């Protein structure tokens, strides 16, 4: 399946790049809706809009419902107003409510006003319930009957409204005040005598859930039972709507992801990093200074200290002037390796590959990688130094200086951002200055100490 999806993605991208819209349209409309949804979620935003423009209207609406809410939100903002309204109207009230949560206020308002009064009222009804509760994920579109109705009358009503509701497999019976009294399965209704009263074939006191119950509780109830939907009621047991099994599965999937992320510490990490990123990219000038400047001052001080280190070995440097030629090599190799390691750490952390409980083991492996790279690169640099200067002792100093500098840089590249996270500092702004400062001072010390010992 993944191979098929990858091949299809390549074909769609190629057709879009070559502006071959006719063949692209044929390819898209011949693809399964769920597969198209997966492809669209991967495509770039401008290509997503192209794909939707070429889909048949009914297909486009079905595919749109398969797509994750955050992608739906982005798409609506990239569509023309008319197209956005068309997709918004095609959704169920509960899906609209989920979609509107993160949309800009003006966009959400315009979309809501585009609905008919009935659909707007239904959507507002769902929006009125707290996020994370049964009321917020229920659909207020369901089929219910009043006592005293015959099976034939019930079947006639189903034919009239079946295409306007999300599920018809579970049907409900209420009294004149809309209080829930019973539930009828569609199979039982179809097989019953048309003249039979519906209350004689309904299940008395069916399972129901209050609107303020947590959505994961409702989802778990549906998962553990053989029901395809569960009715949602108010405190007086009046029927408000139903939560269907597909909505329940979405909740369970999101809950499982959140639980895994929380257990690993990534959910809190993601929230903090999102807040910090907003400040650094969209914050006021003084807010950005407050985060970045203190760490750059540390780098400035570190650079001055590195200058003192060089001054301290002035006599060694004067005696062997060739040492000066290799200072940039030692410092740059350490800086590049340290940055590389810290970037690898950050990406691994974001993808969930860093396990805080086993961090020392992962850190040890990174140090080992640094040591082996230091040997290879140190020998290469030493060979060049020997060919260039013809001094074996100088080559030995260069080899060992680069070996130790790269090993220290990789150790710092993993350890510094880890410590920044532990103490609650902004590791994106703090890691590089700390790594650079420590690496420069230690790298130069090692370099000149070796030179003083071996070249005096």
Please provide the average confidence, as pLDDT, over all residues in the chain: 75
Going along the chain from its start, the domains and CATH numbers come out as 2-129 (1.25.60.10), 144-262 (3.10.580.10), 266-455 (1.10.357.20)
Determine the angle formed by the axes of helices 322-350 and 427-455, rounding to 10 degrees. 150
- Counting beta carbons within 10 angstroms of the beta carbon of residue 47, is it exposed (0 to 12), middle (13 to 18) or buried (19 or more)? middle
90 against 150, higher pLDDT: 150
Asked if residue 266 has pLDDT above 50, the reply is no
pLDDT classification of 115: cutoffs 50, 70, 90? confident
Q: pLDDT tens across 357-388, in order?
A: 777 888 888 888 888 888 888 888 888 888 88
- pLDDT at position 260 is 43
pLDDT of residue 127: 74
pLDDT at 65: 76
pLDDT mean over 327-350: 73
User: Rounded to the nearest 10 degrees, what angle do helices 21-29 and 45-54 cross at?
Assistant: 80
Cβ pair 245, 168 in contact under 8 A:
no
Helix, strand, or coil here: 304?
A: helix
For residues 180 and 265, the model is more confident at 180
Average pLDDT over residues 207-232: 81
C-alpha dist (Å) from residue 158 to 145, 147, 170: 10, 16, 11
Please give the Cα distance from 364 to 55 (Å, whole number). Answer: 52
Per-residue pLDDT, 303: 61
Q: Scan for tokens 């992320």, then name that residue.
A: 261
Calculate mean pLDDT across residues 141-145: 83
The pLDDT, as a whole number, for residue 284 is 66
Task: Identify whether the C-beta of residue 435 lies closer than 8 Å to the C-beta of residue 339.
Answer: yes
Query: What's the rounded Cα separation, in Å, for the pair 455 and 341?
Result: 32
- Strands (E) across 116-238 are located at 144-146, 170-174, 180-185, 203-204, 209-210, 229-233
Tokens of 312: 């301290």
């Amino acid at each position: 399946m993944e191979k098929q999806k990858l091949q299809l993605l390549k074909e769609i991208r190629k057709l879009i790049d070559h502006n071959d819209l006719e063949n692209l349209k044929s390819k898209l409309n011949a693809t399964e809706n769920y597969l198209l949804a997966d492809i669209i979620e991967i495509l770039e935003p401008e290509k997503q809009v192209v794909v939707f423009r070429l889909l048949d209207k009914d297909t486009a609406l079905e595919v749109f419902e398969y797509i994750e809410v955050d992608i739906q939100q982005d798409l609506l903002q990239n569509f023309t107003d008319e197209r956005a309204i068309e997709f918004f109207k095609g959704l169920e009230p509960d899906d609209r409510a989920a979609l509107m949560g993160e949309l800009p206020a003006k966009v959400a308002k315009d979309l809501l006003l585009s609905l008919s009064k009935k659909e707007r009222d239904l959507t507002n009804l769902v929006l009125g319930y707290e996020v994370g509760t049964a009321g917020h994920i229920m659909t207020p579109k369901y089929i219910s009957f009043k006592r005293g109705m015959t099976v034939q009358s019930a079947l006639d009503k189903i034919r009239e409204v079946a295409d306007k509701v999300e599920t018809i497999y579970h049907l409900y019976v209420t009294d004149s005040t809309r209080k829930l009294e019973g539930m009828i399965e569609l199979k039982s209704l179809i097989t019953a005598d048309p003249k039979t009263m519906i209350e004689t074939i309904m299940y008395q006191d069916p399972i129901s859930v209050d609107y303020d119950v947590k959505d994961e509780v409702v989802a778990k109830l549906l998962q553990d039972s053989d029901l395809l939907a569960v009715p949602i009621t108010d405190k007086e047991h009046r029927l408000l709507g139903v939560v269907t099994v597909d909505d329940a599965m979405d909740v369970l999937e999101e809950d499982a992801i959140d639980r895994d992320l929380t257990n690993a510490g990534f959910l809190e990490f993601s929230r903090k990093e999102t807040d910090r990123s907003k400040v650094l990219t969209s914050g006021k000038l003084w807010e950005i200074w407050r985060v970045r400047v203190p760490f750059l001052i540390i780098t400035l001080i570190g650079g001055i200290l590195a200058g003192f280190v060089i001054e301290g070995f002035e006599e060694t440097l004067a005696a062997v002037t060739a040492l000066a030629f290799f200072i940039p090599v030692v410092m740059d190799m350490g800086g590049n390796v340290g940055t590389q390691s810290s970037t690898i750490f950050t990406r691994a952390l974001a993808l969930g590959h860093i396990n805080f409980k086993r961090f020392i083991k992962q850190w040890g492996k990174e140090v080992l990688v640094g040591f082996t790279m230091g040997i290879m690169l140190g020998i290469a640099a030493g060979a060049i130094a020997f060919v260039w200067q013809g001094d074996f002792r100088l080559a030995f100093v260069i080899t060992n200086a680069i070996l130790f500098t790269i090993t220290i840089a990789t150790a710092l590249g993993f350890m510094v951002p880890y410590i920044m996270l532990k103490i609650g500092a902004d590791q994106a702004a703090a890691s590089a200055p700390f790594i650079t400062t420590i690496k420069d001072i230690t790298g130069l010390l090692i370099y000149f100490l070796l030179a003083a010992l071996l070249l005096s």
